[in-house]
Amino acid sequence: MALVRAADSQTSSVSSTSRYCRYHVFLSFRGQDTRKAFTDHLYTALVNAGFRTFRDDDEVERGEGIKPELQKAIKHSRTSVIVFSKNYASSRWCLDELVMILERKRISADHVVLPVFYDADPSDLRKQTGSLAKAFARHQKTQPSNKVKEWRKALKEVADLAGMVLQNQADGHESKFINKIVQVIGGKLRRRPLSVPRIMIGRHSLDLVNKLNLWLQDGSDDVGILVIYGMSGIGKTTIAKSVYNSNFGRFEGSSFLENIKEVSQQPNGLVQLQTQLLSDILNRRKMKISSVSEGLTEIEDAISSKKVLLVLDDVDHMDQLDAVFRMKDQFYPGSKIIITTRHARLLRAHQVTKMHKVETLDDKESLELFSWHAFGQDHPIEGYVEYSQKIVDHCGGLPLALKVLGSSMYLGDSIDVWKSALEKLEAIPNREIINKLRLSYDSLQDDHDRKLFLHIACFFIGRDKDYIVKILDGCDFYTIVGIQNLIDRCLVTIDEFDKVHMHDLIHGMGREIVCQESNEPWKRSRVWHHKDSFKILMEKNVRNMRSLYTYMFFFL
């Protein structure tokens, strides 16, 4: 299959867990052993730390099976903490809970199970000796053999998980042990896979993902910085999230700062980003920073003490990149930094050696991605192939457009509706796609570059670069540097024959910006369509002709 389902099983589990999560922690324990002492103290510490924690307070003898509310609590919890006490295995209800918890972990890869050994030896679980041997001797007499076999398997499985052991209860370390459990749970809850679109990566991007994974796993002590760049909607963030999900567990700390450009422009936005970064790396639920300078000091201290994976998504300003490079020497050896951006020149200014451009999807991948969103399968259904292909052609291999338009088409609609929708799309661009693509236009440094972009979009697509320079330099533009700025923003490209091109959707976005200036074509800054030209000729008097000659000049 051409497309990769980015972190498919992992992603689906993340979305289902986050959508229905009722508890942060499910606390499993044998009540007679620890309910009024250790487990009660642990429960209080978890609640005080802000974690929604479920424990079964029912002292009444249970029936033959686990109560429905316990089943729901396990299903809708993000982590399970299992307190193994000396007589844990003597309770068949505890063993049934354990089986269900491990089943939850198998279904949802991001469900964390933390074994806590209180007055119990982990080796007893693995070898099933000591008090466990006595408990199972009794179970053999009263329980079905398949049930006993299931319990034994579950105990061996949980014994192989990374757990926590209280070495000595009598030396006053129990409170410290509980605090450590709370810290570990906090770290587990914060360090979770990110939600990634189920399908959004093509073969070229898969190769890039593989390269990034190898880079992150190379074992080097160098502090590495790598940049992913490309036009809006091409899938940079999706690729970065997929790589992050596969590798964050290899690092002592990790943080994915999304939409940096947007967040940094908000009031106190930089402090907000610094707070998130520190909370992520230090696994703290609450951080207080009063200023950017204070945040920098705290960040330098945090990144110098542990190997971290940091992803900076949508970096758009030189100051943002400068800050990263100034702190590069402060990072702990082996730390890695991934940056996504639409602005390639930022990277050249710092001579970044590891730069990877994200390319558009090919025709086969595009049709497959569109089909998943439109039909729920990797190909169009019979009767819709022709118009599906036409919509795909309109998208030009841009994943965002394929996803948006695929999701907007309804399978139950007739072919005539699809045909009409395509005709409308060619005349009126999709607003969601235009708004996304316009981010690069809006971020151009001045009106000069924005006007230059609109001139090229309206009149010069496919023209020779020297021809465009000659014409626009005569209109008081600084065309050579302006075109380079557009290239750096991934808005235009120059082919091997020195012709200037744009992605069709960016081309359409530019013309749509002009159309939005007025409903009346003679009130717009540019006119390129022959119907609008004739409308001006027919409806306006000769006083408008001078303006028309200016518009028509660009056709010559």
Q: Give the CA-trace dihedral at 69, 72, 73, 75, to 10 degrees.
A: 160
| Contact in structure between 177 and 164 (CB atoms under 8 Å) | yes
Report the C-alpha gap between 116 and 48 in whole angstroms: 19
Nearest to 186 by CA among 288, 284, 80, 281: 284
For residue 440, what are its two tokens? 């690069």
Catalytic residues: 97
Do residues 312 and 320 make contact, with C-beta atoms less than 8 angstroms apart?
A: yes
Exposure pattern of 329-340 as b/e (b: 16+ CB <10 Å)?
eebbebbbbbbb
Cα(211)–Cα(355) distance, integer angstroms: 12
Give yes or no for a contact between 367 and 3, defined as CB atoms under 8 angstroms apart.
no
Write the Ramachandran bin of 130: left for phi over 0, alpha for psi from -120 to 50, otherwise beta: left
* Nearest to 97, CA basis, from 131, 46, 127, 56: 56
Q: Is 345 helix (H, G, I), strand (E, B) or coil?
A: helix
Give the containing element (helix H, strand E) for 247. Answer: helix 236-247
Cβ–Cβ under 8 Å, residues 20 and 73: no
Point out which residues pair with 113 in neighbouring strands: 80
CA distance 77 to 104: 9
The DSSP output letter for 285 is: S
